[in-house]
Amino acid sequence: MQHLRGWVFDLDGTLTVAQHDFPAIRRELGVPADADILTFMSTLPATEYTAMKAQLDAIELRLAEQVEPAPGAVALVRQLHEEGRRLGILTRNLQSVARSTLSCLGILDCFAAEDVLGREEAAPKPSPDGIHRLLDRWQLSATEAVMVGDFRFDLDAGRAAGSHTCLILPDNPWPELADWHLPDCSALLARL
Ligand SMILES: [Mg+2]
């Protein structure tokens, strides 16, 4: 991992303690229990889409106020930043919410403004679009970068981009998709 120059992080549940109760959010929005929220929304007519988007944005802002750093996340990001690595965020959340979350964690200064990509700056994961954009900006090849996250979509996006993948989760339900697996950011920092 030491040679990796580009580090792309998922935010919710990776750098923060997961606050998103997705079944509850689906119920609040009226999204079917088995549907991916953003995919479902993209199929709605314009008026309904706009209304649901406003509702989802309000939920995200409410959750951002309760943000808690994941164990080791702040120290990990600080160290990578001090070593001169390129750091990005690729989240299915809003960019504005991501920026205020990073600010609450005290690590917003570790990320260039253009390197925090929300669901309106790039096609949402599992699409590799956001990783491609960051690699273009950083002038790095895919193999010089790693996508770090706590969910299958993070690993799928990293794989589709041709980058390395690192799962941050106590268990590893997707061994075929994760190049590395660590229980939390503290363990990842210790491995560097
Ligand atoms: Mg996540």
Which residues are close to ligand 1, an ion, with C-beta < 5 A? Answer: 10, 12-13, 150-151
pLDDT of residue 21: 86
pLDDT of residue 86: 98
* Surface-to-core class of residue 150, CB atoms within 10 Å of its CB (0-12 exposed, 13-18 middle, 19+ buried): buried
In Å, how far are 11, 43, 78, 107 from 74, measured between CA atoms?
12, 37, 6, 7
pLDDT of residue 64: 81
pLDDT of residue 20: 79
Give, in degrees to the nearest 5, the angle at Cα 58 between 90 and 7: 10
Domains by residue range for the chain, with CATH? 6-17+68-191 (3.40.50.1000), 22-64 (1.10.260)
pLDDT of residue 61: 84
Return the SS3 of 27: helix
CA of 101 to the centre of ligand 1 (A): 13
CA of 13 to the centre of ligand 1 (A): 4
pLDDT of residue 63: 83
Is there a contact between 161 and 131 (Cβ–Cβ < 8 Å)?
Answer: yes
pLDDT of residue 4: 97
Successive 10-residue mean pLDDT values, the chain, 192 residues: 96 91 92 94 96 92 87 98 98 92 95 96 96 98 98 98 98 97 98 94
